[in-house]
Structure 1
Amino acid sequence: MEDRRTAWLLGLAGLLPFLLTLGMAGWGPEGWQETAVRAFLCYSAVILSFLGGTHWGAALQNPQPGHSSRLLIAMAPSLIAWPALLFSPLWGLAVLCVGFVLVWGYDLSRSGRCGWPAWYWQLRTLLTVIVVLAHVVLLTHLW
């Protein structure tokens, strides 16, 4: 129970950099807005890569016959996130947003669910919805 509470607290706290940089990008001083967009992009790439790392760990902790592909899939978020930082902010945001949706889709698949407690999906869904909405808001602001 304590792990669940800690995971929820840390997960929600992990939204703060998204929300703070989103606020600064949209409503902060003009000189800070470009930096805030870049900070949002970098944090987004880090978190997307982190999500891949969780699957790497889950695959190693809970090996299942025929699930070796999970290790390969766990690399995909990093391979999406890193190039997204090389694109223009608008395209980078779009790629990262799609990356979060794809990882969430895999999380909900049979092999993606393996090894996680049942409550984890409520947390992942809430966090993903907020993160994707933050990307959409920033995309519409930049558009």
Structure 2
Amino acid sequence: MSELSNDRHVAWLLGLAGLIPFIAGGLFAWWAPSVWQVTAVYGFSYYSAVILSFLGGVHWGAALQVPRPGNRRRLIIAMVPSLIAWPALLFDVVTGLWVLVAGFILIGGYDLSRDGREGFPHWYLKLRCVLTGVVVAFHLIVLLRLGG
């Protein structure tokens, strides 16, 4: 197996493993004992904010790795997920989850844009689409549980 192919495999495995807290949090929000449900929802929200911030860091790193036209704009856009995620944790949990959903959709849209795709292999965009789809779906599952 070539090194590039191995990197793709590892990235997919780690990306899918990163869904475990979203899936577990969403399921626990519905079916865990009541006391754990509250912890599950807050843990879900905090993890969501961390991951949304991480997605901005991906673009920050891409912009710094190779000089390209538009890198200044990409560096600015890379800060947006953190600036969405942090205040989302200051709102009530339902509002915060809606803000986080919006953040994932926005950065997902940027990932698919011409500028956002720049410098990433084609398989990465497929990975991001799968991960974003699952993350948004589980946010909606938790929001449904909260009546939000």
C-alpha distance in 2, partners of 1:28/1:128?
A: 25
Shift of 1:72: 0.4
Aligned counterpart, 1:47: 51
SS at match of 1:38: helix
CA offsets 1:51-88 (integer angstroms, 9 cap, x no match): 00000000001221233110000000000000000111
- The reply on whether 1:12 has 2:16 as its aligned counterpart is yes
Aligned counterpart, 1:91: 95
**What percentage of residue pairs aligned between the two structures are identical?**
61
Unaligned runs of 5+ in 1: none
Tell me which of 101, 106, 122 is aligned to 1:102.
106
Aligned counterpart, 1:122: 126
SS at match of 1:68: helix
Tell me which of 56, 61, 68 is aligned to 2:60.
56
Unaligned runs of 5+ in 2: none
Q: Which runs of 4+ in 1 moved over 3 A?
A: none
SS at match of 2:71: coil
Partners of 1:67 and 1:111 within 8 A in 2: no
Could you say what the CA RMSD is over the residues aligned between the two structures, in angstroms? Answer: 0.7
TM-score, normalised to structure 2, is 0.95
Shift of 1:21: 1.1
Tell me which of 77, 80, 83 is aligned to 1:76.
80
TM-score, normalised to structure 1, is 0.98
C-alpha distance in 2, partners of 1:70/1:111?
A: 8
SS at match of 2:90: coil
Tell me which of 124, 139, 146 is aligned to 1:142.
146
SS at match of 2:122: coil
CA offsets 1:16-66 (integer angstroms, 9 cap, x no match): 011111111111001111111000000000000000000000000122123
CA offsets 1:117-143 (integer angstroms, 9 cap, x no match): 011111000000000000011111101
